[in-house]
């Protein structure tokens, strides 16, 4: 069995840099992680062992440590001000591409537009994106678009939305709102776009796909869904130990990829385990 990897996969620079900042912090016991730094149980338990406190995502009570670490997903300015006015020192690891999405949302809002965000309403990044807006709605995709009481609409997306879903959502908002001038800012991040494109190439070349990533990782589940949409069966695992050899019976070419919160060493372990099942490793 050949094991093929896409051109882009795994941990993005935003998550990697946030993790590096946490790892470099000299006094973890002084810090509360404001939500999950990465959707990866292995990493989160290592951080806990180092002394970081963790506040569950969406939990709004004020941390009791003197410092609070904002994750790569960012928070709204309102939330940042609330933390600062409580006397907390902020360790900010917001990804620069999430900051760009915030700037886009603020621009559309300042133009007086009703803002439509394409993404998952309960995702921490989206809560941060809409937290400073005056009029907005979050839609998961084209099917949730409606007519809005607005003559000017602005559309942007969660950074990890698939480009195809975003395009379909924009078209649907336009169709439902012929009365409105519509301005679109594409805020899908480059690592997400690269990974989707790399995956499309890979899916055309394999019979099955293994996706490595946390159970709560949205982009990992997106990778699985993309494979299924392309008619390629997919196996989602968190580690090499979860590989079931019987799943690969009859498979000659298997693809391997990983979500943005997967550690390179975890991916490597899975890669080695797949290669050990049988065959010669190769890349597309
Ligand atoms: S997925 Fe994109 S926006 Fe989110 S942290 Fe990674 S690079 Fe930044």
Q: Which residue range is the domain that position 162 belongs to?
A: 97-184
The minimum-distance atom of ligand 1 relative to the CA of 125 is: 4
3-state class of 77 per DSSP? helix
- The C-alpha atoms of residue 62 and residue 228 are separated, in whole angstroms, by 41
Q: Are residues 180 and 109 in the same domain?
A: yes
pTM above 0.75, yes or no: yes
The secondary element (H helix, E strand) that includes residue 69 is strand 67-70
Last residue of a domain, one of 184, 217, 244: 184
Give the mutation target among 16, 19, 74, 98 for probing the ligand 1 site: most ligand atoms within 8 A of CB: 98
Residue 273 near residue 212, CB atoms below 8 Å: no
Position 41 scores a pLDDT of: 81
Q: Are residues 103 and 177 in the same domain?
A: yes
Domain assignment present for 284 = no
The larger pLDDT score, comparing residue 219 to residue 144, is at 144
- Looking at the chain, the whole-number percentage of residues with pLDDT higher than 90 is 77
- The C-alpha atoms of residue 253 and residue 242 are separated, in whole angstroms, by 19
Ligand 1 neighbours (beta carbon < 6 A): 12-15, 72, 95, 97-98, 159-160, 189, 191-192, 260
Position 278 scores a pLDDT of: 67
Position 124 scores a pLDDT of: 92
Q: What is the mean pLDDT of the chain?
A: 93
- Residue 275, pLDDT > 60, answer yes
Position 104 scores a pLDDT of: 98
- pLDDT tens-digit series, residues 121-168: 999 999 999 999 999 999 999 999 999 999 999 999 999 898 989 999
Last residue of a domain, one of 74, 95, 116: 95
The minimum-distance atom of ligand 1 relative to the CA of 13 is: 7
Centre of ligand 1 from the C-alpha of residue 102, in Å: 13
The minimum-distance atom of ligand 1 relative to the CA of 101 is: 3
Domain assignment present for 282 = no
Query: Using DSSP, how many helices (H) and how many strands (E) does the chain show?
Result: 9, 12
Count of domains for the chain: 3
Last residue of a domain, one of 37, 60, 95: 95
């Amino acid at each position: 069995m050949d094991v093929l990897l896409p051109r882009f996969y795994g941990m993005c620079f935003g998550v990697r840099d946030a993790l590096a900042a946490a790892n470099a912090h000299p006094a973890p016991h002084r810090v509360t992680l404001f939500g999950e730094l990465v959707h990866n149980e292995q990493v989160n338990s290592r951080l806990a062992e180092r002394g970081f406190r963790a506040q569950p995502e969406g939990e709004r009570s004020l941390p009791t440590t003197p410092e609070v670490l904002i994750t790569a997903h960012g928070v709204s300015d309102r939330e940042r001000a609330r933390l600062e006015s409580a006397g907390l020192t902020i360790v900010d690891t917001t990804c620069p591409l999430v900051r760009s999405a915030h700037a886009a949302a603020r621009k559309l809002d300042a133009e007086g537009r009703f803002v439509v965000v394409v993404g998952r309403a309960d995702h921490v990044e989206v809560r941060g994106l809409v937290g400073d807006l005056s009029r907005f709605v979050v839609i998961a995709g084209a099917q949730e678009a409606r007519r809005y009481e607005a003559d000017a609409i602005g559309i942007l997306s969660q950074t990890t939305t698939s480009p195809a879903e975003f395009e379909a959502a924009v078209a649907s908002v336009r169709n439902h709102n012929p009365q409105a001038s519509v301005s679109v800012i594409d805020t899908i991040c480059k690592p997400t776009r690269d990974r989707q494109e790399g995956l499309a190439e890979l899916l055309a070349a394999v019979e099955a796909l293994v996706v490595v990533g946390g159970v709560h990782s949205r982009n990992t589940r997106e990778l699985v869904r993309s494979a299924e949409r392309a008619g390629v069966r997919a196996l989602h695992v968190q580690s090499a130990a979860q590989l079931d050899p019987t799943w690969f019976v009859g498979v000659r070419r298997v693809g391997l990829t990983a979500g943005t919160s997967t550690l390179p060493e975890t991916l490597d372990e899975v890669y080695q385990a797949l290669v050990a099942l049988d065959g010669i490793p190769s890349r597309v």
